[in-house]
Structure formats: C-alpha cells, structure tokens
Amino acid sequence: MRRRPFGRRSGVLGAWTLVLLAACSAAALPGTSPPPSFTLALNPASLSVQQGGQGQTTLTLTPQGGFTGTVDLSLVGAPEGVSLSPTSLQVTGTEPVSQALTLTVASAVPPGTYALEVRGTSGSLTREADLTLTVSAPPPPPAPSFNLSLNPSLSLQQGGQAQVTLTVTPENGFTGTVDLSLVGAPSGVSLSPTSVGVPGPGPVNRTLTLTVASSVNPGTYALRVRGTSGSLVREVDLTLTVNAPPPSPSFALALDPTSLSVQQGDQGQVTLTLTPQNGFTGTVALSLVNGQDQVPQGLSLSSTSVQVTGSSPVNQALTLTASSTTPTGTYRIKVRGTAGSLTKEADLTLTVNASAPVRTWVYQLTGYPSSGLAALGKTGADLFVVDLTKDGQTPWRLEDLAPLGGRPVLAYLEVGGLEDYRVEYPLVRQQAPDLLLNPVPGWPGERYVRYWDERWWTLVLKPRLDKALAAGFRGVYLDLVDAYEGIDLSLVPGETRERLAGRMVDLLRRVRAYTQGVRPGFWVFPQNAPELRTRPGYLEAVDGIGLEELFFYATDKPCTDPGCRERLEHARAIRDAGKLVLTVDYATLPQNVQAACQKARAEGFVPYVTTVGLDRISPPCP
C-alpha cells in the first residue's frame, strides 16, 4: 500500500498541533509554574460616606505566579461624582501589597447604596473586588450658640465692689448682643455691665463689676450669671462671699495725769498716750477744746500734732502754758485729736493758780550730786538756773526737773562761746572749725565763736534750744552775750564792736522768735551786757536779765568803779521796763553776803550770792 504523502495529512495534524499548543499555553503541565496573575481584596468591603465627603478602605493585592508590574485601579458601577485615589499600584515582589484607597463623593451624588467594584488591570489581566458604597446626606449645620465661663468664686465686703472676667465664646457663627443678669442674687447685689456684644468668631472677654450694698447680710451666695440672646439662654455658676468690713482705722487718747495745776505765766506737762486701732497710721492734730468749761484765755498747747507710724501706742509730752493774764480757776476741758474725719478727746482738769512772785533764786552749773536736782528743790527757792546738761554731754530730761516742784527752771547755755568739753565741740571742730575764734580770758578750753554765722545756729544753738524745750525748762539763761566785747577783731575782718553788738541783739531776737513759735511764754534771760537795752528789739526779745558782780567782784571785792555804776543804771532801766533782774554776786564773807542781798533787794532785784565756781548750793537771800 502506498503511504499517503505526509503532506496530505498536514492539515489535520496542523490543527491538532495548534490545539495542543494552546492547551499547553493555557495550563501548565504537571511540574511547571502557573502563569503570572494576582488577586484583589478590600477591607472593609463597604463604606458609608456623606455627600461632599470621603471614605477609605484598604486594598490588598496578592501577586501570583511571579507577577510584578503596575496595576491600574478604577471603579466600576460608580455614579458620576464618585472618584478613587490612587489610580495605580506598583508590585515589585512576591509579598502582598496593601494600599489605602480614598473614595471621594461629590456633594451632588444622590444619596443611596451603590454596588461597586474596584477593578485592577495589568495588561490582559483584570481582577475585581466588590465594594458597597452608601452615600448619605450630611446632617444640618448646628444652630449658632455661645458658651459662658468665668472664675467661679468672688469675695467682697459689704458696701464694696469686686470684679470678675466673663468670657463669651461664640459657636457656629454666633454674633450679636448677649444680655447679662444675675440669678439667685439677694437684694442689694447688682451687676454691671448688663450686656456684651459679640462681633465675630473670637471669644470676648468682659470685666463684670458686682456691687454689694452695705445692707446685704454677710454670707456665701450661690449665684448664676445668665446670658440671653433671643431664645438662647446660657448660665455659669458664681459663688459670691460677702464679708463684713473690718473695723475702720481709729485711735484712742489718754492723759496722765488727768489733772494739772499751773501758775499764771508758767507751764505744766502731761503725757498723752495715743493708741492706734485697726491699723491706723498718720498725723493726729492736737488742740484744746471746751469741755464742761471753756478753755481759758491765754492757755496754749505746745505740741500740736503727734505722728503714728506703727501699731504700738505713742507717748508724747504735752506742755500747757498759762499766760500771766490767764484767769485763775479750775477748768474741765478736753484735749482733742483729729485725723481726717476722726475726732477723739480726752478729759483734762486744769487749775490755774495766781503766779507767785520770784523773790529768791539758786544758780548752780556743776557739782550736781548723783541724786540729781533734789537738793536744789529743798532750798525752797522760787527760780532755778541749772546747766542744760548734767555733765556737758547728757541733757536733763523732764523727769529730772520734777524734784523742783514745778517751779520755773532756766537752762544755762552759751551763745557767744564754746567750751571744749561740750558735746558740740567735736562737731564744730570737724565741720566748721573756722567758727572758733580767740580764747576767752580766764577760762581755759573756752573760745569765742562767730555767733552770727548760720552754721553756729544750725550746729549748736538751735539743737540746744530744742533740748531745753523738750526737757520742759521754763526758759533759757544765755551766757557770753557780751562776746562782742572780747572777740579779736583781727580774726573777723570788716567787723566792729558796734556791728558785733548789733549782731548779738539780732541773735537774741532770733532765739525769742524760735522758742515762742514752739512754746509761747518761753523765757529768754541773757546774762550781762545790760547796755544792749538801748538797741532796738532788745527789750522785746527778753523777759529779764541776769547780772554778775553788780555789787561784789569775785571774790568779796566791792564793785565801786564807774563801770559798776553804769551797769547799775542799765539794770534799773531794765527793771523799770517791767523785766525781772536777777543778780549774782560772788562773796563768802557773811557781811558781804548780807550787803549784796540787801543792796539788790533795795533796787527791786532778785539776789543770789555764791562762789564764782557755781559748783555748790548757797542759801538763797532772805
């Protein structure tokens, strides 16, 4: 048999060959790798998104058969307005690839549920995963509103005010006026302001003032600050504590003693105790006012104010001076203290006695016993002259003068010279040494001074006068008034004796004016230089004069020269001018002591005879 030519069956064989090849390409033969591919999965597989919103799901792409490459992503079955992002995914290895997918839903997409598919395409490969999308309409926007906030507690006193900051926070586009009020407030509590404007989206802070009337009872009140705008009402809690006000600052006055006796033309002292209360500080003005009786004419008070700086009681000595014309009698009056609207008073019983004439006096400058001035008081003299200080350093105090029984005491001090043992001497040597001039003859350690220099007043004389005033002296007894006669003119070029004498009168007038300004009725007694009486202003500046050695020089030497007679004539003129003339002669012989006393008495003077050292107490003249 002849074989068919191979070529005749080639058509059939060719067809089978194609089938086999196609099968081989469609499915791997056992023992061969599957073709590259991938699968898709979504988590979650359903989304709910509002119109105009977005939603997310996670796509997991699992490569198979060595698949790599770019997979394009798209939505299938999506209505217009729904979009997907991203739109591709890159696969580079064998591990599953996860990708967040964002679905954006336009506001025009109708609400409803949509069955979609997320399709992945790579070349001829196409895979899909189901996705259910629910589109809903957005909720309506919230209505405009506001919130209130503030510090939740406030304390204030009856009759007072306090402030708190209220914050109004607008919400959802609120603007407008919020009316404010208090809820739960007792009568007498008010709020200001009563409205606040909100112009924009930012919070508005407003200071609220709460005023509490004095009639509101102390206590704690649970209040609410209410804000109202149309139908909107918001409230915030506020705890209000009302306290009783503390007692007002004040003071109390007390006097010790509460009764005082003075003579006409003399003075006395009481101690005022001012006790501050409730934090009082400041200046209290003092005055004498009518009590059951009227304040007598000619009675004055030297201390016119007292300063209170702390919480402790303040003690201040008050000096009451009766003029020589103050009517005698007993007066029930008051010491008044005034500070602003505060007025307090303390009762004082004052007895004014007729003044006793000065007939005797005692003059002692050194040698005071440790017991102080008690021995002087026992002499029974009517007037005393003692040094301003106990020892040139320490001034006498008010209580030191008490043993003299309220009788007038004059403080001795120099106005025309300075001794080197005085407390002021180092100060002058350091700050103004040119004030010191030539020595005073016969008195070692003592020098004349430029008594007309302002520095002398500031450094020495004014402080001395202040000490005398503070200690309760009745006046001052001024020595070295005759310094103008002893100053070496070569040390003060341009000066003359005449000019220096005028300067001394000017100084006496200044002493008078200053002390009268502090304590009316304060006495000024110069010692010696009676010839100054002829100068204008001298007699008006002094209350009397002390004259040394008018009848006897130290010691036991009769004064008979023309200068003595001239000084006696001046003394008589001063006496005739109504001034008190005190004489001190230095004698120890009994007949001379008696003669000096008798001569002075015969002239209407007040005599005293002692030793030139003035360091002991001699018996007053009978």
Q: What is the mean pLDDT of the chain?
A: 92
Q: Radius of gyration of the chain from Cα atoms? A: 58
On the question of a cis peptide bond just before residue 257, with omega within 30 degrees of 0, the verdict is: yes
61, 40 in Cβ contact below 8 A?
Answer: yes
Q: How far apart are CA 313 and CA 301, in angstroms?
A: 21
Nearest to 168 by CA among 136, 207, 140: 207
On the question of a cis peptide bond just before residue 170, with omega within 30 degrees of 0, the verdict is: no
Instruction: Tell me what pLDDT residue 5 has.
Output: 39
Task: Take residue 371 and report the two structure tokens written for it.
Answer: 């017991």
What torsion do the CA atoms of 419, 424, 428, 430 make, to the nearest 10 degrees? 120
Instruction: Tell me what pLDDT residue 604 has.
Output: 94
| CA 308 to the chain's CA centroid | 14
Instruction: Tell me what pLDDT residue 31 has.
Output: 61
Secondary structure class of 391 (helix, strand, coil) = coil
Q: What domains are there in the chain, each with its CATH number?
A: 37-136 (2.60.40.10), 145-243 (2.60.40.10), 250-353 (2.60.40.10), 361-610 (3.20.20.70)
40-to-37, 78, 101, 211, 289 alpha-carbon distances in Å: 11, 18, 13, 74, 112
Name the one residue in this structure whose structure tokens are 């996860």: 98
Q: How far apart are CA 277 and CA 279, in angstroms?
A: 6
Secondary structure class of 412 (helix, strand, coil) = strand
> What are residue 615's phi and psi, to 5 degrees?
-115, 15
Instruction: Tell me what pLDDT residue 406 has.
Output: 86
Q: If you write DSSP's letter for every residue of 444-509 in order, what string do you get?
A: TTEEEE-TTSHHHIIIIIHHHHHHHHHHT-SEEEEE-TTHHHHS-GGGSTT--HHHHHHHHHHHHH
Instruction: Tell me what pLDDT residue 428 has.
Output: 98
pLDDT tens digits, 337-380: 999 999 999 999 999 987 778 999 999 999 999 889 999 999 99
Q: How far apart are CA 192 and CA 146, in angstroms?
A: 20
Instruction: Tell me what pLDDT residue 32 has.
Output: 72
Secondary structure class of 51 (helix, strand, coil) = coil
- Which residues of the chain have a pLDDT value below 70? 1-31
Q: How far apart are CA 452 and CA 504, in angstroms?
A: 7
Secondary structure class of 157 (helix, strand, coil) = strand
Instruction: Tell me what pLDDT residue 474 has.
Output: 94
